[in-house]
Each structure stands twice: as structure tokens, then as C-alpha cells.
Structure 1
Amino acid sequence: MKRFLHRSSSSLIFSGFLILLLLASLAGCAGEEGKSPAGGEKKEAAAANDIRIGVAGAHSGDLASYGLPTVKAAELVVKDINAKGGILGRQVKLLVEDDACKPEMAANTAAKLVSAKVHAVIGHICSGATKAAIGIYKDAGIVAITPSATNPELTQSGRYPNFFRTIAPDDAQAKMQVDFALNRLNARRIAVLHDKGDYGKGLAEFAKKFVEASGAAEVVLFEGVTPGAVDYSAVVQKIRGANADAVIYGGYHPEASSIVMQMRKKGMKTAFLSDDGVKDTTFIKVAGPYAEGVYATGPRDTSSNPIAIAANEAHKKAYGSEPGAFFLNAYAATQALLNAIEKAGSTDYEKVRQALRSQEVETPLGKIHFDEKGEAVGVGFAMYQVKKGVYTEVE
């Protein structure tokens, strides 16, 4: 009996010890669990306090070379700003969405960014995609600033008070192309082609109007081509048949490279002028030796600007390559937007809009601000020509 009581007492003591250990363990777990939600709440609170900026554009497909440089520009500007403490004591967070430069995808992209409660958007890249998205942002009270969408209607219609851009519009670009064709190339019979899109067709219509208004030349062919087609021999034959001495093309590099290649292979030396949708290294890579001599308008060369030099060097260091199309325009757009938020002291839609118009900011494009229509004051185009495989500004 004594042995039994002794064993029972020992068992009870041992069991009690186990229970105490278990309770201590549970208390510890409870303590850790109690800490976890608090830590999670802090992280969530910090994330909720971020300034959220959408970056929308072509990040895949044939026109990704236009959109990806904007992502990199935004990343570089934001990284630098966050390292210095952010804006208004808040970190800046980028939400990147791909629209492949397709209007139907752009509308979905815009809806996603609105749902994510972004405070502003950098983009979109292509005019058609921008037109599909900008109304969605307007209804949500979100400012959008593009480095590359040049369709004049975006600013001149007055329908999009939330829209800004760091590039000049297509009417200015088309006027430069026509003036150059008439005065520098002495062209008198001009074929005007386009890709049927908002950007390309809009630019071509302006070019046609300027040629006809000049009284010095005539439009001998005005025609749209189908994007993505393999063979453009029919339109090339029309250019030859019209005895055109210059072609002005509105659109992007995939179609332009195909048309130029087919023209040159047929021995046609007709001057070919295009736009900032073609002033891209991808055009030169695709067209190869046939790109030589092609003219294209594009943003003015500001490579000697100290901020541009620093931005280009930062890109090389971070990504190991030269910046792509519209990189400096996108860098300026990101700077202008974040400067406006800082000067406004808020992410409030109206305050940011007013700050963009009233506050100047130093950028790779020079010191800029925006007029009542959303155009960047002091930003313009220049004419370039492919020489020895590189676009060179024409004096």
C-alpha cells in the first residue's frame, strides 16, 4: 500500500509537472500569437499608408520595347525617393500592369488599378490603350501621366482633365514631318500611310491636312495597312504606281520595318519618314541594313542635360543596358507626378492636378510644368535619321 501511495504520489507530481509545462507552452504560444496579429497590423498599416502609383503599358508583345523602359524609369525614381524617406513621410509603391498596347486589355488594366486604390498612374504607353483607360481613371478621380501617348484628342478634346503627358502631341509631330519633307527633301508627291489605329491614323490625317494646306505638294496616296500582316507588297506597289517621292507613315515599328524592307528590296529609293513609334532601336534591329536613311521624329535630344546623364547612368548600372524608348520622358513623368504630390501635401486628386499645372520641376527634359490642357510646356520633337545603324538627330 505504501509502495502504491508512493508511486501514485510520484505519478501525480510527474503529471503535475507535465501539466505545468503544457500550460507554459500554451501561454508562450498564446503570447506569440498575440504578438503576430499586432505585427501584422503594423505591416498592414504601413502598407495602407504607402503612396500607390500604377505603371501601365505594353510590357509584353511586339511593343514591349516601348513600355518596359517606363517601368524601369519609375523604379529608379521611386527607389531614390524611398531611400531619402519617401514623399510626405510615406513610401512610394509601384503597381505594374501590362496592357500589351491593346485597348481591350487597357480597360481591364485600368479597372485593376482602380480596384487596387492607386493614387495616380504613369501610363498608358500607346494612344489607343490610353483612350480606353483614361475615362475609367477620370471617373475614379485618378490622375494619369503618360510619357508617350501623343494623340491630340487626349488633351484637345477637353474630356480628360485628369490627363497629362511629357511628350508633345501628334499635330506638332506631323507638322514637323511635312515641313521636313517639303523644305528639306523637296518632296512634291507624298504617300501618307497609317496602321488604322488611334495613334497612326490620327497622325496621318494631320500630315495629309498639312500637305494639302501647303499648296506646295499633293497627297498621291492615303491608305491604311493591316497591322501584323506578313506581306505589304500591294501597298508598296501602290506607292510605286503613284510615283511618290516621299512616304509619311503613322504607326509603330513592326509594320514600318516590313514596308521599308519590301520597298528597298524592290529597289525603291523613296524617302521614308515616320514618327516616334518608329524611332526605336527595335526598328533598326528588325529592318537591318534597310533601315539606313529612314527618317523619324522623336522627343528632342536632351542627353546633355545633367539629370538625363545621371538617369541614363543609373539605368546602365541597375540594368546593365542602354535605356529604351521614352525612358527620359517616363523618368520626367514620374518626377513630375511625385513632385506634385509633395507640393500638394496630399494625394488628393484636385490638389495634385493643380500642383502639376502650377509647380515647375527639374527633369531630364528640362524644367517643366503643364498647361491647362495637360501638355508639358517646353517639350517638343526633333527629326532623326538612321546613319550607320543609329538614329542621329538631323541639324
Structure 2
Amino acid sequence: MFQEGRMSRFRKFHSFRLLFSGLLILFFIVSFAGCGKDQGKAPAGGEKKETAAGAIRIGVAGSHSGDLASYGLPTVKAAELVVKGINAKGGILGRKVELLVEDDACKPEMAANIAAKLVSSKVDAVIGHICSGATKAAIGIYKDAGIIAISPSATHPELTQSGQYPNFFRTIAPDDAQARLQVDFAINSLKARRIAVLHDKGDYGKGLAEYARKFIESSNAAQVVLFEGVTPGAVDYSAVVQKIKGSDADAVIYGGYHPEASSIVMQMRKKNMKTWFISDDGVKDITFIKVAGSYAEGVYATGPRDTSSNPLAIAANEAHKKAYGSDPGAFYLNAYAATQALLNAIEKAGSTDSEKIKQTLRSQDVDTPLGKIRFDERGDALGVGFAMYQVKNGAYVEVK
């Protein structure tokens, strides 16, 4: 009995071991098959979806909503048109180019979040941001991630001149050049001797205004009779308008964007003030003219040099009209050039490695709507600059 019981227990144990081994083998087979079946699927929970295999991913970040959307949306359209043309020819390095468009509304806190989002989306480079404050908030994040950013419009000098952001490039000249042109024009062309300098307290507007004040004070030909910051988004600017009037200023130089500029100009003209108003590329936008209406007449603003006679600029503008049924907006050609320069650098470098792209941007010329450009060691585009414009008959016209 004992021997028989022991044999029975042995047979049961052996059967159990065989069953367990079979189940274990089946588990591994199912698991392996499941892994193969799920390869390439996007993870759950809203994480980044995998796109076309091997696509070169370019972020396009800027103001695409709100009062300053007219500055950012032309960049999206420029990037779309350049990429569409490149993809139609087979892409770059045998890979298609994909755009990831993100809206920061020109707000620094949103720009930082957008930068983190684009980094997590594993973009290879970024076109943007648009406003200087937003750009400053974002490019440190890109630098830490080893990602290059090229802006068509962020003009604060520190972005390139500080040396803190070797990953940053731009296709527009910096604000010290813009402020110099404004001051020289006010003093030498308009013969202004008493100048009020206003700004919107932001990185861009205040930075430009401080340069303007510096250049006026060192000119020995004019004086700053008022230096004042205004609150963006305010309904009434009558207090600062009254200060301008009380200062007996010949001219106002304003650093900032079109919403505040249009309100200030309208209130000045309604008080019959003939004071010259000179502003920047943040105001040289059709939206300023639409909002200020007839009060915009005679206003001066600096902006990128007119390259509309360049055959590549003509082609780029025509492409916009054909695709979108309208004339392009602010910084469109600068954004077109930025996208061309970036993708040309990737192609010439034969890589999306940021160090190789940087070296190529600094050493290789590229033909763009702005002319033939490349970038200096700081990241500024060689050969670009500003011109003075004036509103005449409802449109900005270059002052020769």
C-alpha cells in the first residue's frame, strides 16, 4: 500500500509538472506574438503618436491666436509652403518633413510649456518663436535638449549677443539696429529735437526703447523728454497721451506691438496732436492700419528691408496667394527664409544632428527671398536689415 501510494503521488506530481511546463511555454508564445503585433502602436494615455517612419520633425511655434496672431500665422503658412514643395520632390535625405504647429500666443509662460511639449515630441528643430519674450522663455529648454531654433522675428539683441544661446538663429536683424534707424531718422530726417520714448514693458518693446533712449542721449542733437511704460491691453491711454502733450515732444518713438500703438495714435490724433509717431516691426503690420483706420496715416514704422523685387520673393508671395487666396502677412518672407535655411542645412549636413546643422548654417550660403544668406557665429543672418516705412493711403510704403 505504501509503495502504491507513493507511485500514485509521483504520477500526479509528474502530470502537474508537465501541465505547468506546457502552460509556461504557451504564455511565452502568446507574449511574444503580442509584442510583435503591438510594435509601432502609440502608447495609451495621450502620449505622442508615432508618425510616418523616419520623418524629419520640425516644430513651428508662435502666436497663432489672440491679438498677435497676425504675426505668427504667416510663419505657419510659410513653413507649410516650403515643406510642401520639398516633400513633393521626395523630402530630404530620403525622408519626408513633418510640421508640428504649436500656439504660444506670444506669452512666455505658454512658450515654455510649448517648448517642453515639442522636446517631448522629439522634434529635430524649431521654426520660432515669434515674440522676443516668448522666444527667451523657450530657447533655454531647446538648448538643454540639443535642439536648434530659428526665429523669423524675435529681435531682442540679447538672444544672440549674450552668447547664452548657441542653438538660436534668426532671419531678422536685432533691435539695436532697428532703434538706431529710428533715432537717426527722427533726428536727421524729421529734425526732431524733443523725443518721447514709450514702451509696453515687455522684453521686446522695453529693450528697443532703452536702445532708442541711449542713442538719443549720445547724439548731442536731441533729448529724451519722456520715458514711459504703458500697460498692455489697457482701454484708455489718455494719461500717457497727456504726458506726451505736456512734454512738448516733436516725436514719439514707441517700442511694442500694434494693439497698444493703435490706441495711443488714435487718442493722440483725436486731440489734434501732430506729433510724429515712429514705431517698430511690431507695428508694421496691416492689422495696425485696420484698427487705427484713418488715424494711421502718416505713422512711421521700421521693418525688414523690402525684397519684393527678388525673384524668390516674388515666387514665394505668388505661392501664398495661390494657396491661401490672400497677400502674406508680417514676417512671411523671413519665415520662408528661415525654413529654407534650416532644411538646406539639414540636407547639406546629411544629418539632423544639431552640431552639424549649426556648422552648416554658419558656413553655407542659401538663396532665399531675403537674398543669399548665412549666419554669423552669434546666430544673426548676414545681409538682412531694416528699412523705414510710412502709412500712405492705407498701406505701408518704404521711405527712400
Instruction: Say which of 321, 324, 335 aligns to 1:319.
Output: 324
**Alpha-carbon distance in structure 1 between the residues aligned to 2:188 and 2:64:** 38
Residue of structure 1 in register with 2:367 after alignment: 362
What is the deviation of 1:231?
A: 0.2
Tell me the matched-pair count: 360
TM-score, normalised by the number of residues in structure 2: 0.88
**Alpha-carbon distance in structure 2 between the residues aligned to 1:309 and 1:246:** 35
Instruction: Say which of 126, 129, 134 aligns to 2:134.
Output: 129
Residue of structure 2 in register with 1:111 after alignment: 116
Counterparts of 1:4-15 in structure 2, within 5 Å, are none
Q: What amino acid does structure 1 have at the position aligned with 2:363?
A: S
Instruction: Say which of 337, 344, 353 aligns to 2:342.
Output: 337
Q: What amino acid does structure 2 have at the position aligned with 1:61?
A: G
Task: Say if 2:178 is the partner of 1:177.
Answer: no
Q: What amino acid does structure 1 have at the position aligned with 2:197?
A: V
What is the deviation of 1:286?
A: 0.1
What is the deviation of 1:38?
A: 9.4
Instruction: Say which of 229, 237, 250 aligns to 1:232.
Output: 237
Residue of structure 1 in register with 2:354 after alignment: 349
Residue of structure 1 in register with 2:378 after alignment: 373
Residue of structure 1 in register with 2:304 after alignment: 299
Q: What amino acid does structure 2 have at the position aligned with 1:136?
A: I
Q: Deviations 1:167-217 (Å, cap 9, x if unpaired)?
A: 000000000000000000000000000000000000000000000000000
Q: What amino acid does structure 1 have at the position aligned with 2:267?
A: Q
**Alpha-carbon distance in structure 1 between the residues aligned to 2:367 and 2:394:** 32
Task: Say if 2:192 is the partner of 1:206.
Answer: no
What is the deviation of 1:48?
A: 3.7
CA RMSD of aligned residues (A): 1.5
Residue of structure 1 in register with 2:153 after alignment: 148
TM-score, normalised by the number of residues in structure 1: 0.89
Task: Say if 2:278 is the partner of 1:278.
Answer: no
Instruction: Say which of 75, 92, 107 aligns to 1:70.
Output: 75
Q: Deviations 1:332-373 (Å, cap 9, x if unpaired)?
A: 000000000000000001000100000100000000000000
**Alpha-carbon distance in structure 2 between the residues aligned to 1:138 and 1:246:** 41
Residue of structure 1 in register with 2:269 after alignment: 264
Q: What amino acid does structure 2 have at the position aligned with 1:267?
A: N
**Alpha-carbon distance in structure 1 between the residues aligned to 2:237 and 2:38:** 64
Instruction: Say which of 88, 102, 123 aligns to 1:83.
Output: 88
What is the deviation of 1:45?
A: 8.1
Residue of structure 1 in register with 2:18 after alignment: none
Mark the CA change 1:39 to 1:275 in structure 2 (over 3 Å): closer, same or farther.
Answer: same
What is the deviation of 1:40?
A: 6.5
Instruction: Give the secondary-structure state (helix, strand or coil) at the position aligned to 2:218.
Output: helix
Q: What amino acid does structure 2 have at the position aligned with 1:198?
A: D
Task: List runs of 5+ in structure 2 lacking aligned partners.
Answer: 1-32, 42-48
Q: What amino acid does structure 2 have at the position aligned with 1:232?
A: Y
What is the deviation of 1:47?
A: 2.0
Residue of structure 1 in register with 2:58 after alignment: 53
Instruction: Give the secondary-structure state (helix, strand or coil) at the position aligned to 1:144.
Output: strand
**Alpha-carbon distance in structure 1 between the residues aligned to 2:86 and 2:288:** 34
Q: What amino acid does structure 2 have at the position aligned with 1:385?
A: Q
What is the deviation of 1:79?
A: 0.1
**Alpha-carbon distance in structure 1 between the residues aligned to 2:51 and 2:293:** 50
Q: Deviations 1:4-57 (Å, cap 9, x if unpaired)?
A: xxxxxxxxxxxxxxxxxxxxxxxxxxxxx99x959968xx98724000000000
Q: Deviations 1:234-261 (Å, cap 9, x if unpaired)?
A: 0000000000000000000000000000
**Alpha-carbon distance in structure 2 between the residues aligned to 1:37 and 1:95:** 28
Q: What amino acid does structure 2 have at the position aligned with 1:347?
A: T
Q: What amino acid does structure 2 have at the position aligned with 1:187?
A: A
Mark the CA change 1:388 to 1:102 in structure 2 (over 3 Å): closer, same or farther.
Answer: same
Q: Deviations 1:139-163 (Å, cap 9, x if unpaired)?
A: 0000000000000000000000000
Mark the CA change 1:61 to 1:307 in structure 2 (over 3 Å): closer, same or farther.
Answer: same
Q: What amino acid does structure 2 have at the position aligned with 1:270?
A: T
Residue of structure 2 in register with 1:24 after alignment: none
Mark the CA change 1:367 to 1:189 in structure 2 (over 3 Å): closer, same or farther.
Answer: same
Residue of structure 2 in register with 1:222 after alignment: 227
